[in-house]
Chain A
């Protein structure tokens, strides 16, 4: 069974640009959540999608957005990139039915110059 796949693995952008990250969950999982990890703030919840609907949202500005497709694949978008957006972005998938373990991808390392 394939794990959670995130693409691309590494990304370098400049300030002001926008970026789209992709996440393919484990087959059968309907929930995809996104996290941002930085040395200063640690691991922080961005948002969760379940059956193409945003179910939970963290405390991030509107520049951070996401969506989920009918096959449960998810994308997150960051517009007008800032230096502080440099981080490891992790997505996690689960069945989304309650308290259960999350399966994490390897992450996308975003560097904003």
Chain B
């Protein structure tokens, strides 16, 4: 099976940078995904990593280290609208997705 861990809650200040970590233990690995979910809405795709390194996409970046079973999502220049839950998900070699419990990020003025 899969075990995916991420912090439950984080708080950060508008304009700042925040890093949300995710660690995983898998029996097979075929990609790690980050999703953003606002309350009452479905998740939206943010990023995808399958090779080690950093993927940058505007204000959001995601990093992966397969040997360490570790990823982080970096959000820069935080805005109030970034307050949401951030979900880390791992896909195994059977195309099955496993989600972490999500990190609830609160951006304060």
> Does chain A bind chain B?
no
